[in-house]
Amino acid sequence: MPAPIGNQFWKLRSKHGRDRLFKTPALLWKACEEYFQWCIDNPLPEIDYRGKDADQVTLYKMRPFTIQGLCRYLNTNSVWFNQFEESLKDERKRKTSKNKEFSQILTRVRETIYEQKFTGAASGFLNPMIIARDLSLKDRSELSGPAGGPIQTQQITGMEIK
């Protein structure tokens, strides 16, 4: 049975919207630091065989920081993270100091993740091709003529090759 036309049941609510996942920016940063430390404390194990007798050894590889991993650690998802970040870009909401601090924390988180992946790939601890793709890095060179136009070629005739 639908609500009657002209009802004002919404006024009976004690609050509107849901609570934030983190009450303060400091709590969000603390949780992110815990995730970063967890990644450092839990490297990825790789079983390898070394030596003449092929002894089994366990090698530990660097675990990259990711937004998806952070969100899973925070018991949320990347959609929430991205929507929260977008909501903080709204000029009207950015005026509060708390929202400004949340925005700074999310920027610091993204920069920390980027820096860790870039450094890991540059030093050979992470696969450079996968990380370059993930970080949208491109190594591109394009040949063109004057003002970005096509390269002009000229047919040479009457030359003798010796």
By residue count, the chain amounts to: 162
Mean pLDDT along residues 101-114:
93
- Give the pLDDT band of residue 91 (cuts 50, 70, 90): low
| Conformational region of residue 6, where left means phi above 0, alpha means psi within -120 to 50, and beta covers everything else | left
pLDDT at 43 over 90: yes
What are residue 31's DSSP bridge partners? none
CATH no. for 19-128: 1.10.132.80
Residue 35's nearest CA partner among 95, 83, 76 is 76
pLDDT of 119-159, one tens digit each? 998 888 888 888 888 887 776 666 777 777 787 777 777 77
72 or 21, higher pLDDT: 72
CB 114 within 8 A of CB 67: no
Helix (H, G, I), strand (E, B) or coil at 65: coil
Q: Residue 17: which pLDDT band, with cuts at 50, 70 and 90?
A: low
Helix, strand, or coil (residue 112)? helix
**Angstrom distance (rounded) from CA 120 to CA 125:** 5
**Coil vs helix vs strand at 93:** helix
How do the domains of the chain map onto residue ranges?
A: 19-128
Which pLDDT tens digit goes with each residue over 58-67? 999 999 999 9
Q: In whole numbers, what is the pLDDT of the chain averaged over residues?
A: 84
Predicted confidence at residue 44, as pLDDT, reads 92
Q: Using 50, 70 and 90 to split pLDDT, how confident is the model at 1?
A: low
Query: Given a cut of 90, is residue 74 above it in pLDDT?
Result: yes
Distance in angstroms (rounded) separating the CA atoms of residues 101 and 27? 11
* Distance from C-alpha of 47 to C-alpha of 56, rounded to nearest angstrom: 7
Q: Provide the pLDDT for residue 32.
A: 95
